[in-house]
Amino acid sequence: MSENILVVTEHLQGRVLDITYVMLAGARRLAEQTGGKVIAVLLGYKAQFLTQDFGADKVHSYDRPSLEHFSPDAYLRVLEAEINAEQPRAVLLGHTTIGMDAASGLSARLHLPLVSQAQRFDGSNFVSQICGGKIMAEGPLPEPTALVTMVPGGYRPEDGQGRNPPILEKQAPGLEGMRVRLSHFIEPEAGDVDIAKESVLVSVGRGLQNQNDLELVERLAKDLRGTVSASRPLVDKGWLPTSRLVGKSGKAVKPKMYLALGISGAPEHVEAVTGSNLIVAVNTDPNAPIFNVAKYGVVMDMYELIQALSNALEQEAHAA
Amino acid sequence: MPERTDFWGIPHTWGDPAIYVYTLMGLAALVLLWRFYRQASCWWKIGRPENRRDRPLLRLWKVIQYAILQGKVLRQRYPGLMHLGLAWGFFVFFLGTALATIDSHFIKFLQGNAYLLYKLALDLFTVLFLVGAGMAFYRRYIQRPARLTFGPGFTWSLALTSLIVLAGLAAESLRLAVERPAWAWWTPAGWLLAQAWIAAGIPGTILTNWHLGLWIFHLLIVAATLVTLPVGTLLHVLTAPLNIFFAKLDQPAGCLSPVPLSAEGKPVYIRALRDLTWQQLLAAEACTECGRCQDACPAYAAGAACNPKQLMLHIRTALRRDGASPLLDDKTISPTALWTCTTCASCRQECPVLIEHPDTIVDLRRSLVMDGRVDAELQKTLDNLGRYGNSFGQSPRLRARWTQGLPPIPDIRRQPAEFLWFVGDYASYSATLAGVTRKTAEVFQHAGLDFGLLYDAEQNAGNDVRRVGEEGLFEMLVEKNLSTLERCRFESVVTTDPHTFNTLKNEYPLNGDHHVLHYASLLDDWLAAGKLKLSRRLGYTVTYHDPCYLGRYNDIYDAPRRVIAATGCKLVEMPRHADRATCCGAGGGRIWMQEGQVAERPSESRIREAAALSGVEALVVACPKDVTMFGDAVKTTGYENRLQVKDLIELVYEAM
Amino acid sequence: MNIIVPVKMVPDLVEELTIDPGGAALDTAWMRLILNEFDDHAIEQAILLKERVGGLVTVIAPEAADVDDALFTAAAKGADRLIKLTGETGSINSHALARALAAVIQTETPDLILTGVQAHNDLDGQVGPLLAESLSMPYVGYVSSVKIENRMATVKKEYPGGLLAEFMVELPAVLGIQASDEPPRYVAFTKVRQAMQATKIEEQDIGELDISGSAAVSRMFQPEVKERAEMLEGDSDAVAARLVEIMQEYGVL
């Protein structure tokens, strides 16, 4: 039994995902409470360079070709061995397409308690964000080893960086007889703009009533020298390509300004926009969660605002 | 004394010409009847049974109104007069021939003045027919309006009928040129033409021979016309009166029939031709392809796939194939076309032969809904309506949120009131409409109206749910609303929403015990009775948009206009107003669906129409959906500074 | 193909959620329950597979308010069997549900288990992977496409940035569905009513709940509004003018 906190590194195609840093920051808070160390667990192949800026005390690296890409079966087996060997106080995984595949399985396999959707730690309590971000649930971190899947929003990624921890090579258990095998990746359609690099995003959600109305939005985006992005419902409808999707299964964005029109702000969306310098949200529902992350909010029909804003920008252009 | 001569100038060399004439005509008529029967029998062999035989006298009266007197045909001047000439020409020729037969075989009465009048009438209607035929020629080959079908069938029909009449006229003129009777001016056209033969100095024997030739030609053309009538465009002379006779009688336009049941008691959803009723098949055969419906259709005008005329023609084409062939695929009636219909009923309003397109469209939509073929937006809305009872997908508890800050409005579930205000989804939930709804409440309160609300117990009344084709959901909404209404005490229901008004009035079993009123009527009544007093005359120049479900569906045209007048505004009518008012594009559930590709939105076309009226400051509406539809359109068309969109209540509020 | 689809009802977020007087749970008085939307996709995916390769679809749900409607709706879409887990389901969590499901499913010899990848009120993990572990089956979550061929499922798993990965999964397996190949279909009310008459819901008692594996909640609360946006008031033109100022201030314009 140790007081250490394990953080399962999430990386994809040679890049560390932000949630890893968020977890490292959270793990540090917990470790301060328990007096243990923060250990980043890295499963990969020739991926150790990824951990240089980790805010961890050390890295346990499982390095072999079959771990190059995420596979639920393989992660379960390696993490089972790691947890059994380490007996940590807590294991943090992302509440993500990677971490969620492993965490619950580990809980069942190792008979360890699991906390989902944790946003932050308050002393030795977890604080989870449930019900679409409308409710927070708090409780003591369960014993002996708590498995935790984390959502962003509680910690800044910067706070999980900057220690250049030593790397400890670990021997992975046998990985034969896997029943889940990756066959290949399917890249998103290329050729479109990269919304992650845009400095102004005009983002639309359910509030957009018709595909034809995208014209209005595009015109506004042009006036603002920005690009149009969207939340999941519009991409699901096929009104915009996946490359324009902001959210958990789309892109995380960091523009100078994120103008959210008719977006209610589900957690999957919100977590991908928190890196924005300025968020302005327009929604007819005054209780829309998007207002909890926005700097400025307007309760108004998005069409009305688009019209008024276009006029104001035009006047501004004339005045200049 | 002038009198009618039988078979003038026809030699009796081979016996009595009457024998030949009647044999030929008799045979032609037999062929016509046989061919027509063969075709008509498809209606009841393929179509489902439906009883439309009650009250034959009333039905006959409709035939007189619309087939004989051409009541609907005359709604449009040029085509109306054109068709009147053609139709009445033949009515009179037919009558004339019948009279001649009577005269020749039964009672001799076409002599003296009666004969002169007879000749005059035939001659005048010949001229009238030729004017009509000329107009038809000009329209079909020079004007060529897009709504017409340009097929050889129409040319054939116009040519045949014109040849019959021209040959008849020419024969008559030849006879006059030979006989030169003293009363010749009683057939002015014939006599004028006769002057040509007289002037040319052609001998009478030759003219008599020519007459014989023309007379035989005339006869053969008549026979050819009769024989080809059941397969040509002239078929409508039989099917149109039949369709008018069997048209829906007293069920109001705003009341749809429930899903029909088969003989085994199973609900029938229309997927193939045989699922339509015989009357719906007859209607398709009665379509004259005049295209008035297409011209009036707002969806068609917007560039959408909807076309009421094509709908009928698709059914007709399918009828020529076989009853089992599927109706709903992209080759026949495309679901897209059905979904773009706004159920505005302009097509039905314009149809000269009383075809009920919207009812058939809803019938077809019902099968699409049963098969789950609805677009994603509509699906979301229907899910919302089923779950929350409103199309907005919001909590029922927020339905009366707009009342916050107003003097308290009684909850009619606890406190009886004279009026139950059924607010409707848009007026309740739409952020843009909250102000209008609040003003309505304030006007009601100011007038001392004793009213209450259902608060969270109100559910969407279901008018457009039904028109979308979701009959099961409609029934559920009706059940829920009725069970609430049963527990409330009130005398009348008032609503600002024409859609809600329509279904409550025509489809809910309320009318026995309760009045259902649209607020335009209520305001009109209260202003007339002096219960609502206005203190200001506004002096605006405005125009008024008739909501489809208030005007065409429920014939309320004057009440809102009187209210506008009472506020001291000057009303300028748009070219398309009253029963010709064009739809805003929201009805029939369109407001819940994806818009799809349109050239010009119906609401934008309407805004341009209003903005084109000089001096008009505001477009007055009497439907919550219109406030949002036109509110958007006035922005997208750029007329925001030129034209205001005002709800009727806003005028009243301002004038109070 | 024997496909089993475990689903559950979750609080409807359209209604305002409140905390019960005890302070550690949601107030159920005003709560409306709806089918977890990912489970709806799982049902659709199961029906699509049944339509493509044939088979039997069984939908299982723990008892809850309005769960019968959700089950009958699934039947109207094409599910063959409906099972309702009865008993002390009020305090059920993911671990307990997975155990109860495992007990029922063990006797069913399924080829494929499809369930929603998550639910918004999951506080102790997801039913799918918990169940997979109990049944010793492989699991893949965040799946947005499933094809079946030769006892093998080819699935597409979603990653951030629009990236997809295609996995081969040996059957029997559990898949956590993020989205079905086609959006869930519409089912007319009449069809649901017909299903109510034509289909029976089998009931299975789950006996005593074993909720171990979760964490105790000591407090529930609504997120603090301290970080709430500054709301701009006034008519649209005033708001637009203010926004232009703000954009200039932030160097956007």
| DSSP assignment string, B33-78 | HHHHHHHHHHHHHHSBP----S-HHHHHHHHIIIIIS-TTGGGSHH
**Planar angle of CA B143, B147, B151, nearest 5 degrees:** 80
Tell me which residues of chain C, numbers 11 to 30, contact chain A at a CB-CB cutoff of 8 Å: 11, 13, 16-17, 19, 26
Mean pLDDT of the B143-166 span = 95
Q: What is the mean pLDDT of chain C?
A: 93
Strands A114-122 and A125-130, sheet pairing: antiparallel
What confidence tens digit (pLDDT) does each residue in B67-95 have? 999 999 999 999 999 999 999 999 999 99
Candidates C12, C16, C189; nearest CB to B470: C189
DSSP label of A116: E
Tokens of B49: 């049974």
H helix and E strand count, chain C: 6, 13
Among A226-235, B51-60, C169-178, name the most confident range. Answer: C169-178
Helix%, strand%, coil% for chain A, nearest 5: 35, 30, 40
What confidence tens digit (pLDDT) does each residue in B165-223 have? 999 999 999 999 999 999 999 999 999 999 999 999 999 999 999 999 999 999 999 99
Residues A211, B431: C-beta atoms closer than 8 Å: no
- What is the separation of C-alpha C213 from the centre of its chain, rounded to a whole number of angstroms? 20
Q: What is the pLDDT of residue B287?
A: 96
Q: What residues of chain C lie within 8 A of the CB of B394, using their CB? A: 14
Strands C2-6 and A11-12, sheet pairing: unpaired
Residues B376, A307: C-beta atoms closer than 8 Å: no
Among A232-246, B590-604, B605-619, name the most confident range. Answer: B605-619
Q: What residues of chain C lie within 8 A of the CB of A291, using their CB? A: 228-229, 231
Instruction: Return the higher-pLDDT residue of A191 and A262.
Output: A262
Share of chain A above pLDDT 90, in %: 62
CB B467 within 8 A of CB B589: yes
For chain A, say whether C123 makes contact (Cβ under 8 Å).
yes
The 10 Å Cβ neighbour count of residue B419 is 20
Tokens of B348: 């039905």
Candidates C14, C191, C192; nearest CB to B393: C14
Candidates C14, C183, C192; nearest CB to B395: C14
Chain A nearest CA to B456, separation (Å): 18
Chain A nearest CA to C171, separation (Å): 8
**pLDDT band, very low/low/confident/very high, at B350 (cuts 50, 70, 90):** very high
Residues A297, C232: C-beta atoms closer than 8 Å: yes
Q: What is the mean pLDDT of chain B?
A: 94
CB B433 within 8 A of CB B627: yes
Name the CA radius of gyration of chain A, rounded.
21
The 10 Å Cβ neighbour count of residue A150 is 32
Tokens of B221: 């053309």
Candidates A125, A291, A305; nearest CB to C229: A291
Q: What residues of chain A lie within 8 A of the CB of B632, using their CB? A: 303
Closest CA to B43 of B384, B248, B318, B446: B318
SS3 category, A59: strand
Residues C15, B369: C-beta atoms closer than 8 Å: no
For chain B, say whether A215 makes contact (Cβ under 8 Å).
no
Residues A134, C250: C-beta atoms closer than 8 Å: no
Mean pLDDT of the B214-238 span = 95
Candidates B376, B382, B394; nearest CB to C14: B394
Most C CBs within 10 Å: which of A135, A189, A248, A280, as the mutation test of the C interface? A135
Contacts (Cβ under 8 Å, ≥6 apart) of B528 = B562
- What is the separation of C-alpha A198 from the centre of its chain, rounded to a whole number of angstroms? 19
Q: DSSP characters for B81-102?
A: HHHHHHHHHHHHHHHHHHHHHH
Instruction: Return the higher-pLDDT residue of B250 and A3.
Output: A3
Most C CBs within 10 Å: which of B371, B375, B592, as the mutation test of the C interface? B371
Candidates A212, A237, A307; nearest CB to B376: A237
Residues B595, A209: C-beta atoms closer than 8 Å: yes
Whether pLDDT at A207 is above 90: no
CB B610 within 8 A of CB B643: yes
Share of chain B above pLDDT 70, in %: 100
Q: What residues of chain B lie within 8 A of the CB of C16, using their CB? A: 395, 397
Whether pLDDT at B154 is above 90: yes
For residue B601, what is the nearest residue in chain A, using CA coordinates?
A212
CB B569 within 8 A of CB B651: yes
Chain A nearest CA to B344, separation (Å): 21
CA–CA gap between residue A222 and residue B284 (Å, rounded): 51
Residues C178, A249: C-beta atoms closer than 8 Å: yes
**Planar angle of CA B114, B118, B124, nearest 5 degrees:** 145
CB B325 within 8 A of CB B389: no
Torsion of CA B198, B200, B204, B205, to 10 degrees: -160
Q: What is the pLDDT of residue A48?
A: 94
Q: What residues of chain A lie within 8 A of the CB of C126, using their CB? A: 100, 104, 116
CA–CA gap between residue B598 and residue C163 (Å, rounded): 34
Candidates B379, B394, B395; nearest CB to C186: B379
Half-sphere exposure of A233 (CA within 13 A, CB side): 18
Contacts (Cβ under 8 Å, ≥6 apart) of B477 = B385, B389, B459, B460, B461, B462, B465
Q: What is the pLDDT of residue A179?
A: 94
Mean pLDDT of the B37-42 span = 92
Most B CBs within 10 Å: which of A304, A310, A311, A315, as the mutation test of the B interface? A304
For chain A, say whether C160 makes contact (Cβ under 8 Å).
yes
Tokens 């995003």 correspond to A201
Candidates A210, A300, A304; nearest CB to B594: A210
CA–CA gap between residue A42 and residue A57 (Å, rounded): 13
**pLDDT band, very low/low/confident/very high, at A191 (cuts 50, 70, 90):** low
Q: What is the pLDDT of residue B641?
A: 87
Candidates C26, C132, C167; nearest CB to A182: C167
Chain C nearest CA to A26, separation (Å): 18
What confidence tens digit (pLDDT) does each residue in A57-104 have? 999 999 999 999 999 999 999 999 999 999 999 999 999 999 999 999
Interface residue ranges in chain B relative to chain C, Cβ cutoff 8 Å: 259, 267, 369-370, 372, 374, 376, 378-379, 382-383, 386-388, 393-395, 397, 470-473, 475-476
Residues C16, B397: C-beta atoms closer than 8 Å: yes
Residues A116, C95: C-beta atoms closer than 8 Å: no
ipTM: 0.91
Subunits with at least 3 CB pairs below 8 A relative to chain B? A, C
Interface residue ranges in chain B relative to chain A, Cβ cutoff 8 Å: 376, 431-432, 594-595, 597-598, 632, 635-636, 640
Tokens of B464: 């457009």
Mutual angle of helices B112-138 and B188-200, in 10-degree steps: 80
In B122-244, beta strands by DSSP E: none
Mean pLDDT of the A194-222 span = 87
Candidates B267, B374, B388; nearest CB to C186: B374
Closest CA to B580 of B62, B76, B69: B76
Tokens of B213: 């030739």
Whether pLDDT at B564 is above 90: yes
**Planar angle of CA A140, A145, A147, nearest 5 degrees:** 80
**pLDDT band, very low/low/confident/very high, at A265 (cuts 50, 70, 90):** confident
Torsion of CA B360, B363, B369, B373, to 10 degrees: -40
CB A141 within 8 A of CB A27: no
Residues C13, A184: C-beta atoms closer than 8 Å: no
Candidates B594, B597, B632; nearest CB to A303: B632
Burial tier of B14 (Cβ tally within 10 Å: 0-12, 13-18, 19+):
exposed
Share of chain B above pLDDT 90, in %: 84
What confidence tens digit (pLDDT) does each residue in B463-512 have? 999 999 999 999 999 999 999 999 999 999 999 999 999 999 999 998 77
CB B304 within 8 A of CB B340: yes
**pLDDT band, very low/low/confident/very high, at B344 (cuts 50, 70, 90):** very high
Q: What residues of chain C lie within 8 A of the CB of B374, using their CB? A: 186
Mean pLDDT of the B369-390 span = 93
Chain C nearest CA to A200, separation (Å): 7
Q: What is the pLDDT of residue A190?
A: 66
The 10 Å Cβ neighbour count of residue B335 is 19
Residues A135, C161: C-beta atoms closer than 8 Å: no
Q: What residues of chain C lie within 8 A of the CB of B395, using their CB? A: 14-16
CA–CA gap between residue C98 and residue C132 (Å, rounded): 9
Blockwise average pLDDT, block size 10, chain C, 253 residues: 97 90 88 95 98 96 95 97 92 94 94 97 96 96 95 93 91 96 94 95 92 93 76 88 90 81
Subunits with at least 3 CB pairs below 8 A relative to chain A? B, C
Q: What residues of chain A lie within 8 A of the CB of C142, using their CB? A: 97, 100-101, 249
pTM of the predicted protein model: 0.90
CA–CA gap between residue C3 and residue C43 (Å, rounded): 10
Whether pLDDT at B602 is above 80: yes
Tell me which residues of chain C, numbers 154 to 193, contact chain B at a CB-CB cutoff of 8 Å: 183, 185-193
Mean pLDDT of the B250-265 span = 88
**Planar angle of CA A158, A160, A161, nearest 5 degrees:** 70
Contacts (Cβ under 8 Å, ≥6 apart) of B405 = none
CA–CA gap between residue A21 and residue A28 (Å, rounded): 10
In B294-446, beta strands by DSSP E: 419-421
Sheet of strand A114-122, all strands in order from the earlier edge strand to the far edge: A167-170, A58-63, A38-44, A5-8, A90-94, A146-150, A114-122, A125-130, A135-140, C219-221
**pLDDT band, very low/low/confident/very high, at B57 (cuts 50, 70, 90):** very high
CB A92 within 8 A of CB A4: no
What confidence tens digit (pLDDT) does each residue in B317-333 have? 888 877 677 788 777 89
Q: What is the pLDDT of residue B285?
A: 94
Closest CA to C178 of B417, A97, B321: A97
Q: What is the pLDDT of residue B31?
A: 97
